[in-house]
Amino acid sequence: MPNDVAVANKPMEGGGFYNRNSSLQAAGIELALPLLEAAARAIPMGGSAPLVVADYGASQGRNSMRPLCLAIAALRERFGAERPIEVIHTDLPSNDFASLFTTLQNDAGSYLTGDPLIFPSAVGRSYFEPILPPGRVHLGWNTWTLHWMSRNPVEVPDSLLAILGASEEAREAVRRQQAQDWRRYLSSRAAEMADGARLVTLFMGRTDEVHGWDWIAGELWAAAMEMAEDGLISAAELGRFTLPAAGRSKADLEAPFAGGEFAGLSLEHVEVREAPDPFWDLLQETHDVGQFARSWAGMMRAVSGPIAAEAFASQPDAEALADELFRRLESRVAAAPQRHLHFVAIAVIRKTAPG
Ligand SMILES: C[S@@+](CC[C@H](N)C(=O)[O-])C[C@H]1O[C@@H](n2cnc3c(N)ncnc32)[C@H](O)[C@@H]1O
């Protein structure tokens, strides 16, 4: 397998930071929970071997606890308390797996609580290739990961996300990469899924007209530009601060299935819908702009801090520069709070035939 994956792909900010700063993602995940429970009720019985649930791109685990508790409850109802269940959490090799296992052990909401027949493990490899043995997975779960591309196809000088930049050529490079990654992800999962297995996936979506994320991505970019103007980072470093991420439309998700099945998979459900902004909702209750700004700075640092640190890596004080960047973001958000507009794409995929 080529080693081109995971170069531009960075894990989330470590030391449990993502766990503490991902309530926006948790709010979006709620939208897919009924589909996950329905999928857990639909998978085949599969004899008496352990049931295998795979959580692809688990990060530090906190946002996986509630979905997996619900899925496991549905599996327990159908298959009984005696059937062993394996839960395999996957992520990039550089992910903070220590926080994941600490969460599993200590979090009050851990799915391990009170069930001795659940066996968690982890795989530190990019999911753009098969990472589990053929036919092994009965239920797959994957949230907020697939908007991250396997590689960064292009850097742009005018935007945090190339898909929001001025260059149509750059936007086309992103769309091409996203189309290729979606197919590659699906074929890799197809190899791992048992017949009748389901995969429920949620990631950044877009409508045909609106991509979303322009406000907060624009603010973070403006904070980085201020730093360039103040001589703290160079134009080249600013240019390297491009997040390899973009939303997909419903048509993007459907494309591989245009002829029916793709790699022995069928698309059971697909939608793109507006996702919640829990920070804004809380602000309407509390009027606490400081908290609102801290939530946004924390969330944006959780997902883009490691990319900022790499963009500034040639400087001796790269971490201090990242601190400064997210301090500036916090000030900007506090000065002009807004409701964040964004969408999620959700798909349920079934393994129908050998891939
Ligand atoms: C925003 S976090 C999502 C974590 C969690 N699933 C959630 O919903 O909150 C995105 C995760 O995807 C992981 N990721 C990105 N590209 C990946 C890849 N190619 N293979 C495996 N994991 C990947 C990142 O390392 C990160 O932990």
- How does residue 65 score in pLDDT terms, banded at 50, 70 and 90? very high
pLDDT band at residue 8 under the 50/70/90 scheme: low
pLDDT at position 2: 38
14 pLDDT higher than 80: yes
pLDDT 10s digits, 102-152: 999 999 999 999 999 999 999 999 999 999 999 999 999 999 999 999 999
Residue 7 has pLDDT above 70, yes or no: no
From ligand 1's centre to the CA of 56, what distance in Å?
7
The pLDDT of residue 354 is 60
Three-state SS for the chain is CCCCCCCCCCCCCCCCHHHHCCHHHHHHHHHHHHHHHHHHHHCCCCCCCCEEEEEECCCCCHHHHHHHHHHHHHHHHHHCCCCCEEEEEEECCCCCHHHHHHHHHHCCCCCCCCCCCEEEEEEECCCCCCCCCCCCEEEEEEECCCCECCCCCCCCCCCCCHHHCCCHHHHHHHHHHHHHHHHHHHHHHHHHEEEEEEEEEEEEECCCCCCCCHHHHHHHHHHHHHHHHCCCCCHHHHHHCCCCECCECHHHHHHHHCCCCECCEEEEEEEEEECCCHHHHHHHHHCCHHHHHHHHHHHHHHHHHHHHHHHCCCCCCHHHHHHHHHHHHHHHHHHCCCCCCCEEEEEEEEECCCC
pLDDT tens column, 26-58: 999 999 999 999 999 999 877 889 999 999 999
Residue 249 is predicted with a pLDDT of 98
Residue whose CB lies within 8 A of the most ligand 1 atoms, among 97, 148, 202, for a mutation test: 148
pLDDT confidence bin for 336, thresholds 50/70/90: very high
**According to the model, what pLDDT value does residue 35 have?**
98
Average pLDDT over residues 52-72: 98
pLDDT band at residue 292 using 50, 70 and 90 as cut-offs: very high
Q: What is the overall mean pLDDT for the chain?
A: 95
Mutate to test the pocket of ligand 1, among 145, 180, 204 (most ligand atoms within 8 A of CB): 145
pTM (2 d.p.):
0.96
